[in-house]
Structure 1
């Protein structure tokens, strides 16, 4: 994919609104889905960012509203974060100091392998590969900063 852009302060980099364009490809069938929406990273009381993603998910021609909320908490160094589900359960670690990060998240019997890349100050990509008895998916999300920057 080329060059990655190192991030010195991950929470500062993520803050604000991003347009998101995720796609979901089921490797076990021909099903594909897409999502159109926005992700907002807003300040959390006590530090960190609240990540709220909302939009429309379309699969097999059927459109449904979709949303999720995560918490990005400060970690040991400014280029890193501890990512948690809305209820506080751990999700994954994140270290963008090199501009690229690979992490894992076990979910029941499935394993999620995430790759995060920073392309430039206003574009980034996340790819989750999910393998296990329940899922065989690739979820790719392209993010573009929604200007003007809101944070």
Structure 2
């Protein structure tokens, strides 16, 4: 059985820079890809963190630059977060107080199911399973704190 590390405050834990490695598997078409880059969680003026990810995504052997921005705002209970897209639309909640959190996010007719696990003070993982008429993907992302 896998052990998880409880985190009393998700935003405090995430603050800083992380090395990111993501594998992407298209379970319908058989394609595979990989993202390598960094994610920086920096403070927002109004509270919370700005998540800025940048790196290189290689899909079927073709590399291209990739980036995304999210907002991690203080959640409804202490130590949790309300994750939003860069434009402010809701994405999902985040509660790492047990070291593991499972979320769902509908996107058009597809459903994203995410699992967040904290391994130790410097390592965490997300696994997103995407299922629906348009997609059948497995995305596994490992984060390692940069010092």
Q: Which TM bucket (shorter chain)?
A: over 0.9
* Distance in 2 between residues matched to 1:19 and 1:124, nearest whole Å: 11
* Distance in 2 between residues matched to 1:45 and 1:86, nearest whole Å: 15
* Distance in 1 between residues matched to 2:108 and 2:12, nearest whole Å: 32
Q: C-alpha deviations, 1:93-131, integer Å up to 9, x for none?
A: 000000000000000000000000000000000000000
* Distance in 2 between residues matched to 1:80 and 1:7, nearest whole Å: 10
- Matched with 2:79 is 79
Whether contact under 8 Å (1:11, 1:78) holds in the other structure is no
- Matched with 2:21 is 21
* Distance in 1 between residues matched to 2:139 and 2:79, nearest whole Å: 24
- Matched with 2:70 is 70
Under a length normalisation based on structure 1, what TM-score does the superposition of the two structures give?
0.96
Aligned pairs (5 A) from 1:130-145: 130-145=130-145
Under a length normalisation based on structure 2, what TM-score does the superposition of the two structures give?
0.98
Moved over 3 A (4+): none
* Distance in 2 between residues matched to 1:78 and 1:19, nearest whole Å: 27
Q: Is 1:96 matched with 2:96?
A: yes
2:36 alignment partner, SS class: strand
- What is the RMSD of the two structures over their aligned residues, measured on CA atoms? 0.7
Number of aligned positions between the proteins = 147
- Matched with 1:61 is 61
Whether contact under 8 Å (1:10, 1:78) holds in the other structure is no
